[in-house]
């Protein structure tokens, strides 16, 4: 299979390419088990089919890119990038309360149906999730780049594995670092991948810990790191007594559906939606990178390509470790 790397390089030249190739194999232990253009022979139009499906869905619903990106995170952080989050049934990851607000499943299923028509039993659901999230970023205005494929679908999905392996929005910096490190991701990756919050929606319950209900039943701000004007807007959209599980707000209040570096500008303006966002500015270990990304979108995009590559190669399954599901919702 041909192995050709083409990733976002604004000042692309041979030296940059060689550095990136070295980075890929040095920083992603599982990368050697995957291949770029993996489906070049077995299903040449595979990536195009996924991309067209994502583009069509996103044109009808601008929230789709954010949903697909979040779906990838919840898949890869639990059992690795093996589409275990897609499996339905009692006690599966998908049934866990932390995953009930996930979306984008119908897009993955649509892409799978098309692929099964033209290339039956060839393209894994795990690869579809990774490719769809990659394409979602590009469709929303972010960088476009290639990622390797060849992942197999996992056969195990256990709800008990979800909570210990995903970031809670109330996490401290040390808790986030520990979790990211356990996935082979660095502090730089943590700051970069947090930039995924430049798109997507959040339920009011996800940041309710930043407010407190007073004796009169009204919400008041208790997290002083949050901009007061922004806090008032959040209270307006998430009133006390309202449904904190159904009401949603944009992760990025400025450019809600555009994948850009505005998220980091929001942090500098003390408008990070989650406590786990705001802490990136407050902690001396990450503040400099936040400031750099806020002032240099090209630098953020380049870093995103590198960190995304690492994310999508977490604990991948290949060969006999997994299967190619006929339906993404069920094992064969």
271-320 per-position pLDDT tens digit: 999 999 999 999 999 999 999 999 999 999 999 999 999 999 999 999 99
Residue 152 lies in domain: 45-200+251-312
* Residue 273 resides in a domain: yes
What CA–CA distance (Å, rounded) separates 60 from 295?
32
Give the count of domains, the chain: 1
| Position 1 pLDDT exceeds 80 | no
* Residue 161 resides in a domain: yes
* Residue 27 resides in a domain: no
- Mean pLDDT computed over 124-151: 97
What CA–CA distance (Å, rounded) separates 144 from 7?
7
Considering the entire predicted model, what is its pTM?
0.90
* Residue 234 resides in a domain: no
* Residue 221 resides in a domain: no
| Position 22 pLDDT exceeds 90 | no
* Residue 236 resides in a domain: no
* Residue 322 resides in a domain: no
- CA distances 6 to 24, 25, 193, Å, are 12, 15, 20
What CA–CA distance (Å, rounded) separates 140 from 132?
12
Which residues are designated catalytic? 74
Q: How confident is the model at residue 31 (pLDDT cuts 50, 70, 90)?
A: low
Residue 182 phi/psi, 5-degree rounding, is -65, -20
- Residue ranges of the annotated binding site for heme b are 197
- Residue ranges of the annotated binding site for Ca(2+) are 75, 78, 80, 82, 84, 93, 198, 252, 255, 260
Classify burial at 214, counting beta carbons within 10 Å of its beta carbon; exposed 0-12, middle 13-18, buried 19 or more: exposed
- Looking at residue 3, its pLDDT comes to 36
- Residue ranges of the annotated binding site are 75, 78, 80, 82, 84, 93, 197-198, 252, 255, 260
Domain of residue 49, CATH code:
1.10.520.10
* Residue 208 resides in a domain: no
């Amino acid at each position: 299979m041909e192995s050709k790397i083409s990733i976002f390089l604004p000042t692309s030249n041979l030296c940059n390419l060689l550095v990136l190739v070295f980075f890929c194999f040095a920083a992603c232990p599982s990368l050697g088990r995957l291949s770029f253009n993996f489906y070049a022979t077995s299903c040449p139009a595979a990536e195009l089919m996924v991309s067209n499906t994502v583009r069509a869905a996103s044109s009808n619903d601008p929230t789709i890119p954010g949903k697909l990106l979040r779906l990838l995170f919840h898949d890869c952080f639990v059992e690795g990038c093996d589409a275990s989050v897609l499996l339905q049934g009692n006690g599966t990851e998908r049934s866990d309360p932390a995953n009930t607000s996930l979306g984008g499943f119908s897009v993955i299923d649509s892409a799978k149906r098309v692929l099964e028509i033209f290339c039956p039993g060839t393209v894994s659901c795990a690869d579809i999730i990774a490719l769809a999230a990659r394409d979602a970023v590009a469709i929303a205005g972010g960088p476009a780049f290639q990622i390797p494929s060849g992942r197999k679908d996992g056969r195990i999905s256990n709800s008990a594995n979800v909570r210990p392996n995903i970031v809670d929005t109330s996490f401290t910096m040390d808790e986030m670092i520990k979790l990211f490190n356990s996935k082979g991701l660095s502090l730089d990756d943590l700051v970069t991948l947090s930039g995924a919050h430049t798109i997507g929606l959040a339920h009011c319950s996800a940041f309710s810990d930043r407010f407190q209900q007073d004796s009169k039943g009204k919400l008041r701000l208790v997290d002083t790191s949050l901009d007061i004007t922004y806090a008032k807007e959040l209270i307006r959209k998430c009133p006390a007594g309202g449904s904190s599980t159904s009401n949603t707000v944009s992760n990025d209040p400025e450019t809600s559906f555009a994948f850009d570096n505005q998220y980091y500008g929001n942090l500098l303006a003390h408008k990070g939606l989650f406590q786990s966002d705001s802490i990136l500015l407050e902690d001396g270990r990450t503040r400099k990178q936040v400031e750099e990304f806020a002032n240099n979108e090209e630098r953020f995009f380049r870093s995103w390509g590198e960190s995304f590559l690492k994310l999508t190669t977490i604990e991948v399954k290949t060969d006999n470790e997994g299967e190619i599901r006929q339906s993404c919702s069920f094992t064969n």
